[in-house]
A = this chain, B = another copy of it.
Amino acid sequence: MKNLKKIILLGILICSAAQLFAQKASWIWYPGDLDIYMSNVMQNRRTERGSFFPVFWKMDSHYVLVDFHKEFTLTAPEEVKLYVEGTYNVKIDGQAVTGFPKSIQIPAGKHKLSLKVYNQSHVPAIFVQGKTVVSDDSWLTTFEDKEWIDASGKTSDKSGTTFVSAGSWDLTDPKVLPSQFKLPVLPMYAVNKEKIGNQDGILDFGKETFGFIKLHGLKGTGKVNIYYGESKEEALSTEKCETLDFLTVDIAKQQDSILPLSKAFRYVHFETDPTVKLDSVSMLYEYAPVAERGSFKSSDPALNKIYDVAKYTFHLNTREFFIDGIKRDRWVWSGDAYQSYLMNYYSFFDASTVKRTLLAQRGKDPVTAHINTIMDYSFYWFLGIYDYYKYTGDKKFVQDIYPRMQSLMAYIDGRKNKNGLLEWMPGDWIFIDWADKLSKDGEVSFEQLLYARSLETMALCAKLANDAEGFSKYDEQAKALKSKIFDLYWNQNKNALVHSRINNQPTENITRYANMFGIFFDYFTPEQKLAVKKNVLLNDQIAKITTPYMRFYELEALCAMGEQAYVLKEMKNYWGGMLKLGATSFWEEYNPDKQGTEHLAMYGRPFGKSLCHAWGASPIYLLGKYYLGVSPSSPGYETYTIQPDLGGLDWMEGKIPTANGDIAVYVNKQEIKVNSAVGTGKLVLKSRSKPVANGAEIKEISKGLYEVTIEKGRDYRVKYSG
């Protein structure tokens, strides 16, 4: 703890010292471009049994020619260093400087510094470091400056040029080009090694992990075959394991080699030719350097284990972007990422990775398909922005991305049918969930519900982007669609939303999807909520959900209805069930009814299932939001709610990260302790008698329900009878 303080102090000293001498510069580029570029790099690392396995949707690219500029006033002349990724020119007040200067002198006074960069292969990027003139997201950029010169030599007006704020990831080392961006690595070693034959062996790294295999003391001429397994069975199955490397070695002098492509595995199986010598094998664990800020601990060790494995699962899938699974697909799927955003708000609170992922998914105009080709996934993208704003309060990002929201929504708008609803069109994938016999025919209620929420998001963001006309348009559309949903899909007899309409007629089919989203979207009346809970969520006759993906929302809906005790049991059964089967990370799918290696199969392949899937980590989110009970009530936690629910636990404690510090909560059946670094909170608690707090007012808001206002920076200790 003392060390930590020292580091913090040192950090502050360094910051202040740096500010005395120079502003902080970072690499900048056209917004979204490095996000798109790096997501291409990352997503194209997928292989399947040695074959390159790329995505099937459009991959966009960066603008190859970008103009950057900044206007400023200098009180004193200043030397400014220039670092550029690309071919470039430099202009001061519109006058070109000869050649490719690495440093320029800018006189005192009002000036405009411009750099124009061409780079076909990589993202055009600049790093400008003067004492006060530095590159950051206050620079303006465009991909078409329209700066022509007429016959007299006069420069054009640029009234038609759209300048936007530069993109940045806060890359502050001028020597490392943005295209060289890499996650850090740590050496790791196997915990067990088993010899199979003379030349074969299998290594166990003790748990699911991810990184680059390192071959120590490699020498000779011949083959080395490496088979990776998330399970031992997979690593041993040379014919069916999902990932492998076939190496041809021809090395005279012993040396260490690191494989170029990272892999996911717990077990690594080697076959080496007798002519090849190999001393040992280790790995470089590659990880996102995020801070593990969120925490949860309780009186139930089994639940704590679930939380820890969920966090590890989520950390493994938090990479340059939020991906679905580390073995497979290693892609940025919008539906998966949406859950990652939510889990992130209760663990790392890493806003950068959220922004990067949102920008990467959206890509560039024109929109030629839904995000990932999936209709629901376009909507999750909008919802991700809604939540991002709610949790971070970052209005600038919303304003910056708003034009890309408009064009995606325009695309969707162009695909409405004559009823104003969305149904399958050529090129669409209606995913919803991996579930047997799930109908995708006709107008599926779930899609309309997500559409309505997306329109609400558009209205919200239109307001933030000062687009009054857009606000009215989207707000009207959202309201009309919401009311249409209840007109068309609400079945009065079944007291639930039906799954779909086919040939303009509602079906009788009830599924969980639209109904559970209706609860936490708060689209239902209190009566409808109770009815849906009983008739759908807690009704075994309704087709069960088998993926952690939709379990996420199902359990969220139940928590939102106060069923924490029930959900705790479900969590322990479902996630605990995987742990009992030896899981060291949570899976893409889990069906307790399956046996043995059946658990490893999916997509018709014996090891097709991903055993480390981000969407398997939802306990992080549920425990933070619905047990510790913390959530923002206005953007960026300016105001927020703490409504703890032990759900049967004796005690729990944890931290919820926010953009401006943590909210720490401890709860047992007699006492609640809170300390918050941000905003103004509202602790809501049930108590049989009036609670007692140290120097805080306690308000009774209804019979047995109390409220305590939490100011930042103070320790609260509330005694109650839970």
Residues on A lying within 8 angstroms of B by beta carbon are 37, 40-41, 44, 48-65, 87-90, 96-100, 116, 118, 120-122, 143-153, 156, 159-161, 246, 365-366, 368-369, 373, 425-429, 434, 602-605, 608
**CB neighbours of A159 from chain B (8 A):** 426-427
Contact B429 A148 (CB under 8 A): yes
By a CB distance below 8 angstroms, the chain B residues around A153 are 603-605, 608
Selected contact of A52 from candidates B50, B88, B373, CB within 8 Å: B88
Asked whether, in the complex, the Cβ of A146 is within 8 Å of the Cβ of B373, the reply is yes
Q: Chain B residues near A57 (CB, 8 Å)? A: 144, 146
For the complex, what is the distance from the CA of A605 to the CA of B49, rounded to whole Å?
A: 63
Residue from the set A37, A143, A369, A427 with the largest chain B CB neighbour count within 10 Å: A427
30 contacts between A and B (CB under 8 A): A37-B120, A40-B65, A40-B120, A49-B96, A52-B89, A52-B100, A54-B65, A54-B116, A56-B146, A56-B147, A56-B148, A58-B65, A58-B143, A58-B144, A59-B143, A60-B64, A61-B62, A61-B63, A61-B120, A120-B121, A121-B121, A144-B368, A146-B427, A151-B602, A151-B603, A152-B603, A152-B604, A153-B605, A160-B427, A365-B365
Chain B residues with CB below 8 A from A50, complex form: 98-99
CB distance from A147 to the nearest CB of B (A): 5
Told that A148-B429, A160-B425 touch, could you supply 9 new A-B pairs with CB distance under 8 A?
A: A50-B99, A52-B89, A52-B116, A54-B89, A58-B143, A59-B64, A120-B122, A121-B122, A151-B603
Smallest beta-carbon distance A597→chain B, Å:
17
Residue from B58, B144, B147, B369 in contact with A160 in the complex, judged by beta carbons closer than 8 Å: B369
Return the chain B residue nearest A425 by Cβ: B160
Given the known interface contacts A40-B64, A151-B603, A152-B604, the answer about A51 and B99 at a Cβ–Cβ threshold of 8 Å is yes
Q: How far is the CA of A183 from the CA of B120 in the complex (A)?
A: 20
Q: Is the CB–CB distance between A63 and B54 below 8 Å?
A: no
> CB-CB < 8 A to A63: which residues of B?
58-59, 61
Measured CA separation A171–B156 after assembly (Å)? 40
Enumerate chain B residues within 8 angstroms of A605, measured Cβ to Cβ: 153
- Interface-central residue, A64, A602, A604, by most chain B CB under 10 Å: A64
Chain B CB count within 10 A is highest, among A60, A65, A143, A153, for A65
Give the distance to chain B from A685, nearest Cβ to Cβ, in Å: 43
Checking B40, B51, B60, B89 against A96 with a beta-carbon cut-off of 8 angstroms, the contacting residue is: B51
Chain B residues near A366 (CB-CB < 8 A): 365-366
| One of B160, B425, B428 near A426 (C-beta < 8 A) | B160
Query: With a CB–CB cut-off of 8 A, which chain B residues contact A148?
Result: 56, 373, 429
Q: What is the bound-complex CA distance between A637 and B116, given in angstroms?
A: 46
Distance in Å from the Cβ of A566 to the closest Cβ of chain B?
28
Alpha-carbon gap, A54 to B114, bound state (A)? 13
Q: Is the CB of A59 within 8 A of B51?
A: no
Q: Which chain B residue has the least Cβ–Cβ distance from A98?
A: B50
Report whether B51 and A89 are in contact in the complex, using a CB–CB cutoff of 8 Å. Answer: yes
**Min CB distance, A33 to chain B, in Å?**
11
| Cα–Cα distance between A37 and B65 once the two chains are bound (Å) | 12
Nearest chain B CB to A36 CB, angstrom units: 9
A148 to B372, CA, bound (A): 10
**Structural contact, B54 and A146, CB atoms closer than 8 A:** no
| Complex alpha-carbon distance, A100 and B246, angstroms | 12
Closest chain B CB from A65 CB (angstroms):
4
Contacts of A98 in B (CB 8 A): 49-51, 246
A159 to B, closest residue via Cβ: B426
Interchain CB contact under 8 A, A118 and B160: no
Q: In the complex the two chains form, is A48's CB within 8 Å of B96's CB? A: yes
Complex Cα distance, B94 from A56, in Å, reads 14
Given A146-B56, A366-B365 in contact, is the A120-B246 Cβ separation under 8 Å?
no
User: From residue A396, how far is it (CB to closest CB) to chain B in Å?
Assistant: 23
CA distance A63 to B63 in the complex (A): 12
A63, chain B: closest CB distance, angstroms: 7
Q: Which of A51, A62, A121, A365 has the most CB of B within 10 A?
A: A51
